[in-house]
Amino acid sequence: MSFQAFMMRRVAAKSDRKRDAGLTIPESVTYIRDLSYGENASHTLDLCYPKDAEEDLPLIISFHGGGYVYGSTKIYQYYCADLATRGFAVVNFNYRLAPKYRFPAPLEDLQQVIGWLCDHKDAYPLDLNNVFLVGDSAGAQLASQYAAIYSNPEYAALMGFEKPDIKLRAVGLNCGFYDMTGQLQTEGLKGIMVDYLGKNPERYGQKLDVLSYITADYPPAYLFTAGGDFLKDKCEPMAELLAERGVPCAWKVYGDESIGHVFHVNVRLDTGKEANDDQTAFFRKYLQA
């Protein structure tokens, strides 16, 4: 493990505990924990939805952040439960982390999660005809990559994925970076990228050139960042690329420099509530009967 990853785990864990201290799951939400979707110890998911649900609900799948090396359902439980109060079913899942598990383990795990949902859709109020994918930080990169796999058969074949039996209607890409090949040329996250990809990422070839495989069939996307987000400069170029490829999208910078990275996960923060309201409103525009 790189020193960068070690420090991320240590600093982020302390910050996340402080952020969520005293929070509880809203009484209006059914929250089911630790459902097993695979054989690895990391393969568990939480599922939540409004308690008064009388019909199948549009489904949000949350791809947590953490630089590929950190993050868990525990850290995202209040964010996901808060999304559920907006009338969605929400999946909050653990995936295998680097450096023990490397590319493309998180993407493979999401594919397993979706397979589990297809197998268990009758046990829960899930509308798999209206699925939305959100991710933040490294989770935004992963969500954006999975959307390319889902929407481009050529890229799916290259990655060895089969298209699942769901309808991915839109994606939410939050405080992330998206150009993997470009990121490999910068120093900012170099240690973490080595943790995830190893010392010889060139062996993955075109698999890392995600942006080349974005077409007009890519799901509509709502992107956001914050005035104090260290990845702020990654948002607008991705939105512009999507627009150039004919993908419906919107993007916004929330708050000033006092509002930082993955601010929207803080359910106490008014700016986070605003961003999550806007993103879910965008999703609702793409619901289909």
Q: Predicted confidence band at 187 (pLDDT cuts at 50, 70, 90)?
A: low
Q: Following CA atoms 115, 117, 118, 120 in sequence, which dihedral angle do they give, to the nearest 10 degrees?
A: 120
Per-residue confidence (pLDDT) for residue 1, from 0 to 100: 87
How is residue 99 written in tokens?
Answer: 């450096």
Look-up: residue for tokens 């929330």?
254
Residue 183 is predicted with a pLDDT of 83
Q: State yes or no: pLDDT of 269 exceeds 70.
A: yes
- Express as a percent the part of the chain with pLDDT over 70: 99
Q: Domains along the chain?
A: 3-284 (3.40.50.1820)
The pLDDT confidence band at residue 27, using thresholds 50, 70 and 90, is very high
pLDDT value at residue 191 = 87
CA-closest candidate to residue 174, choices 148, 141, 205, 204 = 141
pLDDT band at 185 (very low <50, low <70, confident <90, very high): confident
pTM: 0.97
For residue range 221-267, list pLDDT tens digits in order: 999 999 999 999 999 999 999 999 999 999 999 999 999 999 999 99
